Amino acid sequence: MQLRATDAAESVVRRVAASGRDELVMVLGTGCCDSTAPYLYDRYYPGPDTMKVGEIAGVPVHAHRWLAELYAEGDGLIVDVDEGVTNDSFSLESEYDCRFTLKLPERAERR
């Protein structure tokens, strides 16, 4: 599975890390309501059914195996961020009124 991040997403990961959070990990595919939305946690064990699919700003990114296998071929996925979004997510970037999103490369290019 190929995974890339936008500059904006990398910037938000760095901002969260600079706030004093440690042992960060991003997980794809764990949201009860957001399904495959990226979640950024600190001191979190992603579980035995995940695999590391990349890094963003030095933070490991894990995906559930079913998701990694679904996107094993092709251009992969892009982690982006929507800013100015107030939300009640458990993901750490929500403290900064933004939300990580997962996009297909052709959708990200149209943005």
In order of their start, the domains of the chain are: 3-110 (2.60.300)
Pairing of strands 50-56, 59-64: antiparallel
| Mean pLDDT estimate for the chain | 88
DSSP state of 43: S
Angle (CA) 62 64 36, round 5°: 90
pLDDT in tens, 44-89: 999 999 999 999 999 999 999 988 998 888 888 999 999 887 777 7
> Which pLDDT band, with edges at 50, 70 and 90, does 35 fall under?
low
For β-strands 77-83 and 59-64, DSSP reports them as: unpaired
Rounded Cα distance between 96 and 111, Å, is 22
User: Does the pTM of the predicted model rise above 0.85?
Assistant: yes
Q: What is the structure's pLDDT at 9?
A: 97
Name the strand (E) or helix (H) holding 18. Answer: helix 7-18
Check pLDDT > 70 for residue 32. Answer: no
Strands, sheet with 3-5, edge to edge from the N-terminal-most edge strand:
3-5, 77-83, 98-103
Whether 27 and 63 have beta carbons less than 8 Å apart is answered as yes
